[in-house]
Structure 1
Amino acid sequence: MSRLFIALPIPDEIAAQVAPLQSGLVGAKFSPRENLHITLRFIGKASEILAGDLARQLAQEAQNSFDLSLAGADFFGSEKPHSLHLKIAQNSNLFELNEKCEAVCRNLGLEPEVRGFAPHLTLAYLKGADLAEVERFKSQHAQFKSPIWRADCFRLYSSKLGNGPSEYEILAEFSLF
């Protein structure tokens, strides 16, 4: 059983611009540059059979490529922050792709995602980080904006947890035209 998720990769030039933000906060476990992505749908533990079915059905989901950009720091966990992220500038195409991924998952018998889609790029997971320090980080980077880039593919990943950062493996890649 693998832990699966569907995500948009982040281009190297955008990851390079994000890298300077990934320091200076006690209690933050910053994501390695190669792990940066925008999750479209987290699936969780799944069999190889389901992974294959997902790959086949996702390959049939045609959509045009679209522009994206990052727009300011924020965090999840209002009283007890658990992750630090960059927001994604509003984009209806991103929501449309999320809905297509959700439909494929439901068609294959997966439980629907109950949380609303909140597109973001996770910078760090937080453990024991001081709320005031997290709010200060958010304030310092509230005006961060990345250049616009073209999202031209999305991927099905497997994730392996360990003592260090998660290890991601690309199981399939799907072009956006």
Structure 2
Amino acid sequence: MIRLFVGLALPAAIGVPLAALGAGLPGARWVERRNLHVTLRFVGDVDETVGHELHQSLAAVRAPAFDLALEGFGTFGSRSPNALWAGVERAPGLMHLQAKVESAAVRAGLEPERRRYQPHVTLARLKDTPIARLQAFIAAHSPYRAGPFPVEGFVLFRSHLGRGGAEYEAVAEYGLG
């Protein structure tokens, strides 16, 4: 079994400043700079045959390149936040690409995603982070905006889970244009 997802890698000009935020928040486990990304479709654990079918289906995706910007911070988990994220604008090009990737995943035999797509960059996983400290962190770094930056391709990533968290490996890259 392999663990896969489809996403957008962030350029260094965007990722480096985001990674530099990683301090001063108790209970936060920050995502390493090299692992920052925008998820287009989480796949999960699949056998290698399904992974190959997904690769073939993604290779057939045709979509134009587009510009994207990040804006604002938020959290997942309303009562007990478990993740801190940077928001990603819902640019028409992003939404078009995400729909194409979702269609490719279904053509490859995956179940359709039932959750509404919420583009974001996960910055940190949270455990027992005091809500007041989290709110103060978000307020201290607001308003936040980065970009726009060009998106000229997307990536099929493999996730390797380990003691220190996940490491992501680019399995295949697909151009836009």
8 Å CA contact 1:84, 1:125 repeated in 2: yes
- Once residues 10 and 119 of structure 1 are traced to their aligned partners in structure 2, the CA distance between those partners, rounded to angstroms, is 13
> Tell me, what secondary structure is at the counterpart of 1:80?
coil
Q: What's the counterpart of residue 76 of structure 1?
A: 76
Which whole-Å CA distance do the structure 1 matches of 2:108 and 2:53 have between them?
A: 8
Q: Give the % identical residues.
A: 38
Partner of 1:164: 164
TM-score (norm 2): 0.96
Structure 1 or 2: more strand by fraction = 2
2:36 counterpart residue number:
36
Tell me the secondary structure at the aligned position of residue 61 of structure 1: coil
**Residues 76 and 83, structure 1, Cα contact 8 Å, conserved in 2:** yes
- Name the structure 1 match of 2:26: 26
Q: What is the root-mean-square deviation of aligned Cα atoms in Å?
A: 1.1
Structure 1 CA distance, aligned partners of 2:90 and 2:138?
19
User: Counterpart of 2:64?
Assistant: 64
Q: CA deviation at 1:40?
A: 0.2
* Per-residue deviation, 1:44: 0.3
SS at match of 2:171: strand
Deviation at 1:89, TM superposition (A): 1.9
CA separation in 2, counterparts of 1:113 and 1:90? Answer: 18
The structure 1 segments of at least 4 consecutive aligned residues displaced by more than 4 Å after TM superposition are none
2:45 is matched with: 45
> Partner letter of residue 127 of structure 2?
K
Q: List alignment gaps of at least 5 residues for structure 2.
A: none
User: In 2, distance between residues paired with 1:32 and 1:169?
Assistant: 13
Distance (Å, rounded) in 1 between the aligned partners of 2:117 and 2:46: 21
Equivalent residues of 1:17, 1:146 under 8 A apart: no
Distance 1:2 1:70 in 2: 30
Gaps of 5+ in 1: none
Q: Take 2:89 and 2:51, find their aligned partners in 1: how far apart are those partners?
A: 30
TM-score (norm 1): 0.96
